[in-house]
């Protein structure tokens, strides 16, 4: 049996230069459609969301709250919460 060396994944920048900016639509009665994004958003992993997709016994609301509190106390700045 041969040993394989694990491949280290290196992050790559978002290739935003290859995308054309969205042409704004004139909707004078609303303010948010005129907003323009000037930089790429922050990307984060959302593959497990609140964890229920990976658990045999899904978490109840109280356990989710405790998990959220623990993540905040650990210093996480961005937490996606699913309902």
What does the pLDDT look like over 33-42, one tens digit per residue?
777 777 777 7
In a domain, 52, yes or no: yes
- The full DSSP string for the chain is ----PPPPP------GGGSPPPPPP--TT-SGGG----SPPPP---SSTTTGGG-SS---HHHHHHHHHHHHHHT-S------
Tell me: pLDDT of 69 over 80.
yes
Domain-located, residue 11: no
Mean pLDDT, residues 11-19: 77
Q: How far apart are the C-alpha atoms of 13 and 38, rounded to whole Å?
A: 16
| Domain enclosing residue 73, as ranges | 48-83
* 39 occurs within a structural domain: no
Looking at the structure of the chain, the number of domains it has is: 1
Q: Work out the average pLDDT over 9-24.
A: 77
Which tokens is 12 given? Answer: 């790559």
pLDDT for position 53: 62
Of 23, 58, 17, the residue nearest 39 (C-alpha): 17
pTM, 2 dp: 0.40
Instruction: Please spell the DSSP secondary structure of 20-36, one letter per residue.
Output: PPPPPP--TT-SGGG--
Higher pLDDT among residues 33 and 2, named by residue: 33
């Amino acid at each position: 049996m041969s040993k394989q060396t694990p491949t280290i994944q290196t992050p790559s920048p978002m290739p935003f230069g290859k995308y054309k900016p969205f042409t704004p639509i004139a909707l004078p009665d609303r303010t948010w459609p005129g907003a323009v994004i000037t930089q790429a958003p922050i990307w984060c992993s959302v593959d497990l969301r609140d964890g229920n997709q990976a658990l045999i016994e899904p978490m109840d609301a109280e356990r989710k709250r405790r998990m959220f509190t623990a993540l905040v106390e650990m210093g996480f700045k961005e937490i996606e919460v699913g309902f």
